[in-house]
């Protein structure tokens, strides 16, 4: 179905979608990595240590958009993005979503030595590089032999928060997309506002309780 705006012309988002699809096809055919699979359910158990020093086991389960293999044999998790702007470059090395994807592929990685490279990447379908390809933001492969890694430490922190039910809101850029502004202490002040007394309660209070 062709999307039309009120003027009768094709909707601008349709043009953006076509451009994104064209970039994806160029990426798929020209990437130096080999496509292996898409939308596969992956699962793994991760042993972590909480900030309090307690051990915990986390079951990670999720879908990865694409799994590719680079020329050295390393598996690379690919997350296809349809955002208008790319993630700031400085956030990629410890991008949590990509780190979790690397954990999901950890047990499937080849045991042989491979050259340093990326272990996961965001492929920005709506952001074009100078060659007309989608912008690829690669996260360096995590060396899980040097445990605990940054992603394991972060999962340990998350486990402790959930076990202790201590959810401390931390304002950040993500607040722009949050659906819970109305109940967030950093945005709305007091979450639980006392309800005003009903009219009949005011009357009873003024007249006194007839049963006293």
φ, ψ at 94 (rounded to 5°)? -125, 40
In a domain, 96, yes or no: yes
Q: What is the pLDDT of residues 32-66, one digit of tens each?
A: 999 999 999 999 999 999 999 999 999 999 999 99
Q: Looking at the 3D structure of the chain, how many domains does it have?
A: 1
In a domain, 30, yes or no: yes
What's the confidence (pLDDT) of residue 115?
73
Cα 34 from Cα 78, distance rounded (Å):
12
Cα 52 from Cα 50, distance rounded (Å):
5
In a domain, 79, yes or no: yes
In a domain, 178, yes or no: no
113 is in which domain, residue-wise?
12-165
What's the confidence (pLDDT) of residue 169?
82
Beta-sheet strands, E only, within 50-133: 55-69, 75-81, 118-128
In a domain, 170, yes or no: no
Indicate the pLDDT class of residue 113, thresholds 50, 70 and 90. low
Q: Which two tokens stand for residue 147?
A: 């445990």
Q: Which two tokens stand for residue 209?
A: 């309780």
In a domain, 58, yes or no: yes
For the beta carbon of residue 160, count every other beta carbon within 10 angstroms: 18
In a domain, 1, yes or no: no
In a domain, 48, yes or no: yes
């Amino acid at each position: 179905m062709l999307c039309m705006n009120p003027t009768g012309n094709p909707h601008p988002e349709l043009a953006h979608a076509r451009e994104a699809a064209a970039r994806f096809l160029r990426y798929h055919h020209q990437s130096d990595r080999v496509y292996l699979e898409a939308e596969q359910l992956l699962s793994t158990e991760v042993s972590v240590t909480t900030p309090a020093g307690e051990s915990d086991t986390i079951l990670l389960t999720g879908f990865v958009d694409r799994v590719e293999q680079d020329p050295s044999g390393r598996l690379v998790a690919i997350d296809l993005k349809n955002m208008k702007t790319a993630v700031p470059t400085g956030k990629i090395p410890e991008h949590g979503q990509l780190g979790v994807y690397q954990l999901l592929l950890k047990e499937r990685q080849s045991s042989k030595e491979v050259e340093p490279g990326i272990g996961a990447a965001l492929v920005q379908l709506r952001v074009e590089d100078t060659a007309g390809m989608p912008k690829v933001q690669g996260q360096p492969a995590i060396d899980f032999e040097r445990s605990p890694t940054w992603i394991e430490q972060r999962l340990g922190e998350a486990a402790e928060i959930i076990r202790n039910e201590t959810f401390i809101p931390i304002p950040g850029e993500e607040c722009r997309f949050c659906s819970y502004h109305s109940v967030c202490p950093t945005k709305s002040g007091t979450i639980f506002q006392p309800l005003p007394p009903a009219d009949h309660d005011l009357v009873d209070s003024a007249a006194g309780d007839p049963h006293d």
